[in-house]
Structure 1
Amino acid sequence: MDGSHVVLLYSVAPTDIIGAPIKRLIGFQRVFIKSRKTVQVRFDLNGCKSFSIIDKDANELLPAGEHLVVVGDGYEKISTKISFQFTNIN
């Protein structure tokens, strides 16, 4: 059956970050899909904004470590990992 669907994209902060939200909505798109067809959905993300968290003092932080990108919110969700590493350059 033809129909429209909202594709939800979430980021999940590294698991060892105390006080981080469970997940954060970083993008969404409504798409129309014909019966028995597929569509490709593209999200353009800003790494600093999409994977940051807000701490208890309202500071925006980008935690180092392994973040998770999750497409969908239900039974058929898919995910992949992305890592941020920072080095001190003197």
Structure 2
Amino acid sequence: MDVGNAIRLCRKRRGVSQTDVAMRADCSVSYLSMLENNKRDPTLSMITKIAEALHVPVGALFVMASEEKELGNIDSRLAGRLQRAAMSSILSANDAGAVRG
């Protein structure tokens, strides 16, 4: 599972800085950077705070972070659809200005 990459991808798609996300999630910028670079393992409560700061459902973040082998017996086409749907929900919320402002 690559939660750090999923956080970075969501943050960049939302067009927000690490500073903004860290402030909203009540963590340091250096900690967020370490998470994004997979140098630290976040707690579930921190993932939840970051997801809220990004206005992203925690479940969507986990789907985006999942690797194919971690999805168990889910058909690979379905797994791809889930990941695309998660990304699509992030993009459409961004278009609506969910994070900025």
Normalising to structure 1: TM-score of the pair?
Answer: 0.25
Query: Which structure shows the higher helix fraction?
Result: 2
Q: Which protein has the larger Cα radius of gyration, Structure 1 or Structure 2?
A: 1
Normalising to structure 2: TM-score of the pair?
Answer: 0.23
Query: Which structure shows the higher strand fraction?
Result: 1
Higher relative contact order (CA 8 A, sep 6+): 2
